[in-house]
Amino acid sequence: MKIRALIVDDEPLARERIRTLLRKEPDIEVADECGDGMRAIAAIAKLRPDLVFLDVQMPESSGFDVVEAIGAERMPAVIFVTAYDKYALRAFDVHALDYLLKPFDRARFREALERARTQIRHEQSGEINRRLLALLKDVRPEGQRRERLVVRDGGRILFLRTDEIDWIEAAGNYLKLHAGRHAHMMRETMAAIEAQLDPARFVRVHRSTIVNLDRVREMQPGPHGDSALVLRDGTRLTLSRTCRARFENALAGRG
């Protein structure tokens, strides 16, 4: 049985090191290699490899971003490749997910590869996917502030910077993220997204609306204690009276 592998690392020499080591493994076929997370996401979706050597620290999108974008339940077997210190590696150890700590030797590489072979041959993807989900929750705990959000847009997957977002509205089981002339749908709850955003910048102004304070141009009084917020692009949002104190406190905190 041939195992199709994908190599993902932003360092060309690191990719070549893995490719060289894999040449001596007759049951491994290198399907492709990628130098960044966006290309890795596209390659995983298109090629459906059995195994991914995934660099954790890459510019723009990390290895964790790749797992989140693909979905832990759909990820192939993964060997993380990282320069993390040993304290940070505890997360991988706790969840029994294999990793190669740069620089690694051939013996350690073959050890990780043999474990991956065992997982693939015994079709242990369900258990590994559960470990990946647990790892994501560990490295991105509830309440951690996010600088980027993973958003699916048709056939594309975007890494949307939070500072690009103007406002957010609830839309059934989804959220609609308004960023300039574009709106992106994301499956998440208002409470969950609010906990992940910087409270000095993003404030809940209504039970179904969160606004980026940098986009607010003026506040106008309205009926029944509610007010209207006018954004820089002319968008009008309701500021409910129950959220007004929080909104004003956030503004005061910005000096």
Which of these, 244, 206, 197, lies nearest to 225 by C-alpha position?
244
Give the model confidence (pLDDT) of 8-65 as tens digits. Answer: 999 999 999 999 999 999 999 999 999 998 899 889 989 999 999 999 888 777 888 8
3-state class of 235 per DSSP? coil
HSE, side-chain direction, 13 A CA sphere, residue 75: 29
Are 56 and 101 in a shared domain? yes
Are 123 and 23 in a shared domain? yes
- Provide the whole-model pTM: 0.66
Contact 35/16 with Cβ under 8 angstroms? no
Q: How many structural domains compose the chain? A: 2
Q: What is the CATH number of the domain that holds 126?
A: 3.40.50.2300
Host domain of residue 243 = 148-253
Distance in angstroms (rounded) separating the CA atoms of residues 216 and 170: 19
Give the model confidence (pLDDT) of 171-184 as tens digits. Answer: 988 899 999 999 99
Are 132 and 154 in a shared domain? no
Are 80 and 41 in a shared domain? yes
Are 155 and 135 in a shared domain? no
Examine the fold and report which residue of 122, 139, 156 is the final residue of a domain before the chain moves on.
139
Are 135 and 160 in a shared domain? no
Distance in angstroms (rounded) separating the CA atoms of residues 46 and 215: 38
- Helix %, strand %, coil % of the chain (to 5): 40, 30, 30
pLDDT at residue 124 in the model: 64
Where does residue 118 rank: exposed (0-12), middle (13-18), buried (19+ CB within 10 A)?
A: exposed
Are 9 and 124 in a shared domain? yes
Examine the fold and report which residue of 139, 173, 204 is the final residue of a domain before the chain moves on.
139
Distance in angstroms (rounded) separating the CA atoms of residues 136 and 64: 7
Distance in angstroms (rounded) separating the CA atoms of residues 253 and 255: 5
Examine the fold and report which residue of 94, 118, 139 is the final residue of a domain before the chain moves on.
139
Are 119 and 215 in a shared domain? no
Asked if residue 128 has pLDDT above 90, the reply is: no
Give the model confidence (pLDDT) of 137-153 as tens digits. Answer: 777 655 556 778 878 77
Distance in angstroms (rounded) separating the CA atoms of residues 66 and 100: 17
Q: Which of 135-144, 163-172, 206-215 has the lowest mean pLDDT?
A: 135-144
Q: What is the CATH number of the domain that holds 215?
A: 2.40.50.1020
What's the average model confidence in pLDDT over 220-236?
A: 88
Are 207 and 247 in a shared domain? yes
3-state class of 63 per DSSP? helix
- Tell me the angle at which helices 12-22 and 106-121 cross, rounded to the nearest 10 degrees: 70
Are 78 and 192 in a shared domain? no
Are 117 and 7 in a shared domain? yes
Give the model confidence (pLDDT) of 61-99 as tens digits. Answer: 788 888 888 888 888 999 999 887 765 677 787 777 888
Are 135 and 9 in a shared domain? yes
pLDDT at residue 255 in the model: 60
Rg (CA), the chain: 22
